[in-house]
A and B are shown apart, each in its own frame.
Chain A
Amino acid sequence: MSRSPSPQPGGWSSPGLNTSYDTGGRSSPFANGSTSHNVTWASAQARSAEVKGYNGITPRGQGFFGKHFRRLSTSLPFSYGEKEKLGRGRYQGNKFMQLLNRVGYTLWRLRRSLGVLLFVVLSFIIFYVTPTALHRMYRRSSMFGGGSKYVIILAANQGGGVMEWKGPREWAIERDSVKNKKKYTKKWGYDLEIVDMSTKKRYAHEWRESWEKVDTIRNAMRKYPHAEWFWWLDTNTFIMEPTYSLQQHIFKRLQHITYRDINVYNPLNITHPLTDEYLDPETRSAVGDGKVDSINMLIPQDCGGFNMGSFMVRRSVWTDRLLDIWWDPVGYEQKHMEWEHKEQDAFEYMYQNQPWIRPHVAFIQQRQIMSFPPGACGDQGDDPNIHYQEQDRDFLVNMAGCEWGRDCWAEMYNYRQLSNRLNRNPWEKFKDGISDFFKKSKKDEKKKS
């Protein structure tokens, strides 16, 4: 578009005297009384186009509502036309309509506070439902949820590698187990570290035969420098209640669900507390200093003693020292044939023989962190301290020892199904309830006939 002075031959006689009657019936605000000398219709139109953002004139009421608003509004029950028919502007419909009217009026009056409420509700929906899941970020942040303080170390491929090849069942177990932990860590904003524990010759001069828990935990500590607690989990575990967060389920209740004095439950008959007079009072105390923040390690005990299938360590200098001293060539050389549970036996030994360890270990009630299926620890499978109880909604199942004569995959499958059933949402429960009802009535009919 040209902004140059008028191309019309002859031009204007004088500024401000030209009228706009020759410009299509629409007066331009720039044409009359403008101080500018160079205003042409074209330039004025261009400028007004810039202001309006579109070209030309848009007729009003071209949309659907524009065209039909009146018709629509007159057909509504609240329309004036009808009101006038019913006389004196008062609407005397049935009681229900009156009530509705009043409710509507009240809502309109309270629109401010209601708006806040609506806003809060909407925020909730966005927070929990949207796929971006703001609540994950919230739970993960160290300020609010603190989820980034926890790392789950999941051992995969245990005993695999050169010793035996994995079959389809083993793959399936691993897949389920990993999926379960992935979902859990994602939900609560924790970190998941899956480590390959297959037996390999990783150290140049020796077969350490999977005494590698220690190195693995150390690597994880290096990888997640801001995490505080590291939770070791074996492959054959399943988190039954993903709605429990570690913070709520364990770390806020430490004083209730742990015991410092091993005499509370002592299957190994470890002498405790130590009585040697050369030891300091804290080491000789049955419960250490008895403060929550002196706990650097949380381990459960099953019927056979310490269980390292599911335990937690906290980042601290104490833990550094423990991880450093845990594997020692002298101990390994002398005991590796005898200690068939490797780190677990080594730790039991150290707990008994190195007094500095005791004040910083707390034992956690087994079912809070690791329930056993009926096959492990006794044949009945009904020990309320050891075995999984459905009605108590135990947190995690550790199918320890299922590779010795039990069916790992069947156990894993059953517990997965059970967990899914226990954690249905209300809608699923409703649907299942209906289908159960019909199935039941069908059965009853069959029985009758």
Chain B
Amino acid sequence: MHFAMPPRKTSRPPPYARNQGSIIAIPPALKNLLRRDKLRLVVVGILGFLGIVWLLGRRGGNSQGVAWTAAHIPKVAIGSGAPVVIVTVIDPKADPSWTQRIKSNREEYAKRHGYLTFFPTDDQYPLRGSPATWSRVPAIRHAMTLYPGSTFFWYLDATALIMTPSLAIHTHLLTPARLESLMITNAPVVPPDSVIKTFSNLKGDRIDFVVTQDKEGLAPSSFVIRNGEWAKYFLDAWFDPIYRSYNFQKAESHALEHIVQWHGTILAKLALVPQNMLNAYASGPASLKDGQFKEGNLVATFPGCDKDARDCAKEQQTYFDVLERTKT
């Protein structure tokens, strides 16, 4: 129906009609209670009631047995120490002169940028019969124990040389902005066709583990770990005896690929960077795209030069010469 005019309203509103404005109809008895002079009384009553409930809730907590108390463990703030600690595990059976040159290569670089170095031997950790290459994992944990104030721990294999000492790794690679621009997202963790791909929405400041990929898979000959609780978890999980005894074909590097692919809390902290940023190969199965060492790359690695009948000192000789020349 449609009316041409709205119905006429009375021009004289009923003088004392009930107030229809309020939605909830308050009974007069309650309204009387809420009058100003009684309001104080009501508020006091409610407060008193809540107070009693609270007091009753607080009772209990009776003590049995001896309460333990906090242990006194000195806490060092992460970031208060040197920004980077370089960890290289040394084989005590290797040629001492070569070992010395490797050590001084790292020490010179560290001195230049205010970093620290740590050179444990591969027989000082309880490996329980697993290959000596596993010792890199407790070595990093050890460095974290010794230098708890440092932020980054860079494991650099003894087969690698720092070729461009002027590049400071913590500004060149490890700042959140640099990491975000460099990291390879949505790429298979193990090339060429792993189902598990790196996350594509990671923030640079959430990254705790920076690693590279060569032609065959993850290359744990040079990687960086950020100090913290996650690092302990990651290293301990990696070092689990079950993986060491599992007879992975390539020991720790296959174990690493395994835990990265099966455990999301690890993959979520991992950043894959182009191989020549951290771990360029001078020889060996480099990543086809950007793995080969070129002049100006931070690191040159000679994977496997310490194995079989190969001689690292001989292979690295020309590179040592280049380093000597640039120094003078």
Whether B84 is near chain A, meaning CB under 8 Å from some CB there, is no
Which residues of chain B are within 8 angstroms of A144 by Cβ–Cβ distance? 57
Contacts A252-B61, A253-B62, A280-B148 supplied; 12 other A-B pairs, CB < 8 Å = A3-B10, A116-B44, A252-B60, A255-B67, A256-B65, A278-B145, A280-B145, A281-B74, A285-B71, A287-B71, A318-B229, A324-B265
Contact B53 A138 (CB under 8 A): yes
Flag the segment in B107-115, B136-144, B292-300 that touches A. Answer: B136-144
Interface size bracket, B side = 35 or more
Are the CB atoms of B45 and A119 closer together than 8 Å? yes
Q: Beta-carbon contacts of A228-254 to B below 8 Å, as 1s and 0s?
A: 000000000000000000001000110
| A278:B64 contact, CB within 8 angstroms | no
CA distance A228 to B138 in the complex (A): 33
Residues from chain B with Cβ under 8 Å of A325 in the complex: 233, 237, 259, 263, 265
Q: Does A127 contact B (CB under 8 A)?
A: yes
Q: How far is the CB of A7 from chain B (nearest CB, A)?
A: 19
User: Per-residue 0/1 for B80-123: is the Cβ within 8 Å of any A Cβ (1 yes, 0 no)?
Assistant: 00000000000000000000000000000000000000000000
Hey, which bits of chain A sit against chain B, CB under 8 A? 3, 47, 50-51, 53, 112, 115-116, 119-120, 123-124, 127, 138, 144-145, 248, 252-253, 255-260, 276-283, 285, 287-291, 317-318, 320-321, 324-325, 328-331, 334-335, 349-350, 353-357, 365
- B residues near A (Cβ < 8 Å) are 10, 14-18, 41-42, 44-46, 48-49, 52-53, 57, 60-71, 73-74, 125-126, 138-139, 141-142, 144-145, 148, 229-230, 232-233, 236-237, 239-243, 246, 258-259, 262-266
Contact B64 A277 (CB under 8 A): no
A278 and B142 CA atoms in complex are apart in Å by 4
- Is B49 a contact partner of A120 (Cβ separation < 8 A)? yes
Q: In chain B, what residue has the closest Cβ to A292? A: B70
Give B182 Cβ to nearest chain A Cβ, in Å: 26
Number of A-B contacts (CB under 8 A): 139
On whether the beta carbons of A253 and B265 are closer than 8 Å, the reply is no
Q: 6 tightest A-B contacts by CB?
A: A278-B142, A290-B71, A255-B67, A290-B70, A119-B45, A354-B236
A-B contact pairs, 22 of them (CB 8 A): A50-B17, A53-B18, A112-B41, A116-B41, A119-B49, A145-B57, A253-B61, A277-B142, A277-B145, A278-B138, A278-B142, A280-B232, A282-B73, A289-B70, A290-B71, A318-B229, A325-B263, A334-B242, A350-B240, A354-B236, A355-B236, A356-B236
In the complex the two chains form, is A353's CB within 8 Å of B240's CB?
Answer: yes
Please name all residues of chain B whose beta carbon is closer than 8 Å to the beta carbon of A119 when the two chains form the complex.
Answer: 42, 45, 49
Are B265 and A320 in contact, CB atoms less than 8 angstroms apart? yes
Contacts of A145 in B (CB 8 A): 57
- Specify which of B17, B41, B68, B229 is in contact with A259 (CB 8 Å cutoff): B68
Chain A residue at minimum C-beta to C-beta distance from B42? A119
Residues of A within 8 A of B125 (CB): 276, 278
Closest to B261 in A: A329
B-chain residues with CB within 8 Å of residue A279 when the two chains form the complex:
141, 145
Of B52, B67, B73, B246, the residue contacting A334 (CB under 8 A) is B246
Most chain B Cβ neighbours within 10 Å, of A53, A330, A334, A349 = A330
Asked whether, in the complex, the Cβ of A280 is within 8 Å of the Cβ of B69, the reply is no
Known: A281-B74, A290-B69, A330-B258. A116 touches B126 (CB 8 A): no
Do B233 and A120 have beta carbons less than 8 Å apart? no
CA distance A387 to B230 in the complex (A): 39
